[in-house]
Each structure stands twice: as structure tokens, then as C-alpha cells.
Amino acid sequence: MIEVEIEDEAWTAALPEAAAVAERAATAALGTVEGGVVVLLTDDATVRDLNARFRDRDRATNVLSFPAAGMTIPGQAPPLGDIVLAFGVCAAEAGAQGKTLGDHLSHLTVHGVLHLLGRDHAHEAEAEEMEAEERSILASLGVADPYRADAQA
């Protein structure tokens, strides 16, 4: 189950279909894995606060992932965790990289869900594997390769 919560209305002002875009990307990233994911579309201040409290980094970032701590809910697929996206950072990155906000939201949602599934990019080999998986999932959604050279302006 995917639940999208919009806390900052800037998301829907800029991208009226933001909730549907995030839900579609999260569903694609999950593939056949069953589990609950909450996607919170919020503002930079909220993400900065979460990043400072949980990662000791006092700055806003584009996306944060918070894996669930192995909890179970009777009769439901286990919750996998939450991902949180900052509107201002995401919108600025999309503009700087010449992408639509929808494509960037799709990419970062897929990226966040893959983290919930245990993927990481701390080492070069892991990063290459995770990026390849992102490219494949995004291609299935009709989203261009976010790592191509001309997308990183």
C-alpha cells in the first residue's frame, strides 16, 4: 500500500498530479514486494529539521528515507517505511537539471523506495547497481535516464 501525504501545497500548485506521480513511482519501485510506504511531500524546513535530528546534517536535502523497524500490523502487508521530499530543493534541482518536476519527483521517489528496500550507494559498485535499477524502473514509467550527462547540467 502506498500512501501519499501532501503537507506543502507548493507541490500541488506546481504539479497538480504530484500525489499520483509519487504513487506511481513508488509502486513501480516496489515491483512485487508487498509492504506499506508513506510518501510525504513537504517543505524544506521540515526536511531540514528531520535531516538535523536523524542524520546530524543541518540542511535541507531532496529526499530522506526512514525504514520501518520491523513492525507488523495484523492483516496488512508490513510497513517498509517513509520517504520525505522537500519541495524547494526538488524544484530547484529539477530546474537546474533541465527536468520536469514530475520526472524529478518520480526519480527521487524511486530512489527513496529503493533505500527502504535495502539498496544503498555508499560505495561505487553499490551506486552503479542502484543507478541501473533506478534507470530501469524509470524507463518503465517513461522517465528519461536521470544520470545521463546532459541531465546533470
133 lies in a domain?
yes
The residue assigned the cell 507541490 is: 11
Range of the domain at 63: 2-145
147 or 8: which leads in pLDDT: 8
153 lies in a domain?
no
Dig out the grid coordinates for 37 from the structure: 510506504
140 lies in a domain?
yes
107 lies in a domain?
yes
Q: What is the mean pLDDT of the chain?
A: 93
126 lies in a domain?
yes
From 28, 46, 42, 32, select the one nearest 113 (Cα to Cα): 28
Q: What is the pLDDT of residue 149?
A: 66
151 lies in a domain?
no
CATH assignment at residue 92: 3.40.390.30
150 lies in a domain?
no
7 lies in a domain?
yes
Q: How many domains does the chain have?
A: 1
| Overall average pLDDT of the 17-25 stretch | 98
Using a 10 angstrom Cβ sphere, with 0-12 exposed, 13-18 middle and 19 or more buried, the burial of residue 75 is exposed
Dump pLDDT digits (tens) for 58-101: 999 999 999 997 777 777 778 999 999 999 999 999 999 999 99
Rg from Cα positions in the chain: 15
pLDDT at residue 152 tops 60 = no
70 or 50: which leads in pLDDT: 50
